Structures are given as C-alpha cells and as structure tokens.
Amino acid sequence: MSSVAIGLFAGLLLALVAAVGGFDMFMLAVVLGAVGVVVGLVVDGRIDVTSLSGRGRG
C-alpha cells in the first residue's frame, strides 16, 4: 500500500471520528482526506516542498 493511500485512510479515519453528523462534518472529512493525500504525496516524493521553505539556494 502506497503512502498516498495510507495518508488518505489516516485523514478519513480522523475525519470519521469528527464526523458525527451534518454537512459541515462531511466537508471536514473531505478536507482531512485531502490533507492526508497531500501528506502521502510528500512522503512518496511526488510533491517537492523544498521550494516552499523560503530560503534561497546558495
């Protein structure tokens, strides 16, 4: 199982705990799932976040 899938499941499980009911909680589940996917992509190395550090090269 890839890190992206693990990140997605982790985000959805965290959201499931918060999602007791209502549309707001559903949207929270979607957002947390998306955050999990992004974290998984960073761990896999598919997204490069080194350019976001704000430090110049050299």
What pTM was estimated for this model as a whole? 0.62
**Rounded-to-5 percentages of helix, strand, coil across the chain:** 70, 0, 30
Distance CA 54, CA 31 (A): 26
Distance CA 8, CA 3 (A): 8
Crossing angle of helices 3-18/23-44, nearest 10°? 160
Residue 7: the pLDDT is 82
Specify the residue for token string 């490069």.
48
Domain boundaries, the chain: 3-49
Q: Average pLDDT across each block of 10 residues of the chain; the chain has 58 residues. List them in order.
A: 82 74 74 85 86 67
